[in-house]
Amino acid sequence: MGFGYKLAETQSFTAASNNFELAIVVTVATFGANSNQALASTVRPLIEVPVLLGLVYAVKFMAKRLDWKD
């Protein structure tokens, strides 16, 4: 597609991350700190961070396989 590794990695992080800090604040403000929604929005980053790390490893693998240049 004509873009390098650094751009692919940056765009992947940007696309995959959904501002989970903001989601936690809005959920707690809307539903309260003791709600199930607040718990769910707090646990979500525990799932999202390993997925993002996996995405980095996938992009690094593709960079080696496709011989991407910066």
Radius of gyration of the chain (CA): 16
Distance between CA atoms of residues 42 and 21, nearest Å: 9
pTM of the entire predicted model: 0.53
- Structural domain tally of the chain? 1
Range of the domain at 14: 5-66
Mean pLDDT, the chain, rounded, equals: 81
For residue 18, the 8-state DSSP code is -
Select from 46, 63, 64 the least CA-distant residue to 12. 63
Pair 23, 41: CB distance under 8 Å: yes
What is the per-residue pLDDT across 26-46, written as a single tens digit (0 to 9) for each?
888 999 989 998 888 888 778
N- to C-terminal Cα distance for the chain?
Answer: 13
